[in-house]
Amino acid sequence: MTESIEESKLEIVMFPWLAFGHLIPYMNLSNELAKRGHKISFLLPKNAEVRLQKLNLYPNLITLHKLTMPHVHGLPYGAETTADVPGSLESLLATAFDEMYGEVKSFLQNLKPHFVFFDFAYWIPDLALEIGGIKTLCYKVVSPAVTSIALIRSSVKTTFMASTAAELVKPPPDYPSTTVVLRESEAKLLSFLFHEYGKGVTFYERSKKGMTGCNAIGVKTCREIEGTFCDYIATQFEKPVLYTGPVLAEPTKGPLEEHGLSDWLEKFEAGSVVFCAFRSQMILEKKQFQQLVLGFELTELPFLLVVKPPEGTNSVEEALPEGFKERVQEKGLILDCWVPQLEILSHKSVGCFVTH
């Protein structure tokens, strides 16, 4: 019986995109799989190891394997995640990511895992076929509705650019909802899909090739909430869609020492702080950023805003409206780096969360 149980355990490799909004959900999933006795090899750049190892609840089963990021001309030296670069340089980061192909290939050839879980490394399915005996799962951390609207449409950039606003908001054929749809302003933002994201590949191609070539698609949700969209994806891509559930980490109880967050939050009454955070790829225009912070000022509530520097600026501070810092003083804290969201949300002072 013991031998049979041991034989049922899986060897899994995790290879997520180089953004903490991807790395952390993959680590949370790794913990859930390790809890069930499966062995995980987690591929990541060395600078991300320090942050991720704190979240590793099963170090006897989850091994963090550090990859060497090749330097790409135009990238700052030492840049290894989206937290290290402005949005304008993420395509170069994706190029460096793809140039780890050889190192990843050698690792998989030596390990011969049962599965590789990936998202942005669209070349993983072909690589797994070349090596043989490895199944691939494209694990999506974004909403299935977003995936459906964004990827199940024409891949031709000229078709998109020539489309009218009414055509852009129209959902793809057989899309299962009349209410979860795009507004015109949102539909226009889909143009980012056709921007280069790595050498010779667009964001659209990177995302869709991975989903098309994998053996199965994984989703960070549950059937009861988004089952109709997942069924739609399964039909369109003709492969199984597997649910992991939300897979959230347990909030830690320790103090928020980074950036003096603990001391800052303790200044305010329970439930009074507005916390706003956008993902690292969400880059606002300067005007949008200014309207956002002016809106928080008008609430007259303390606020914590975590956002990348707006387009065309080097820092959030230089983009602030005139006189804003003097008016708000210590009531508003604006950061342009990664913060521990769960720990902030669990703090007694936080009463409202704003995100995209």
Calpha distance 265→256 (Å, rounded): 9
Q: Which of 10, 17, 20 is nearest to 55 (CA)?
A: 20
> Among 38, 98, 119, 347, which one carries the catalytic annotation?
119
The total of other beta-carbon atoms located within 10 Å of residue 189's CB is 11
Calpha distance 168→182 (Å, rounded): 8
> Among 22, 38, 98, 347, which one carries the catalytic annotation?
22
Sort 79 into a burial class: Cβ within 10 Å, 0-12 / 13-18 / 19+.
Answer: buried
Instruction: Provide the CA 351 distance to its chain's centre, in angstroms.
Output: 25
Residues 200, 120 contacting (CB under 8 angstroms): no
Q: Which of 215, 187, 233 is nearest to 116 (CA)?
A: 215
126 as an active site residue: the answer is: no
Phi, psi of 169 (to 5 degrees): -80, -10
| Residue 118, Ramachandran bin (φ over 0: left; ψ between -120 and 50: alpha; else beta) | beta
22 as an active site residue: the answer is: yes
Sort 299 into a burial class: Cβ within 10 Å, 0-12 / 13-18 / 19+.
Answer: exposed
Calpha distance 221→45 (Å, rounded): 27
The residues that are catalytic are 22, 119
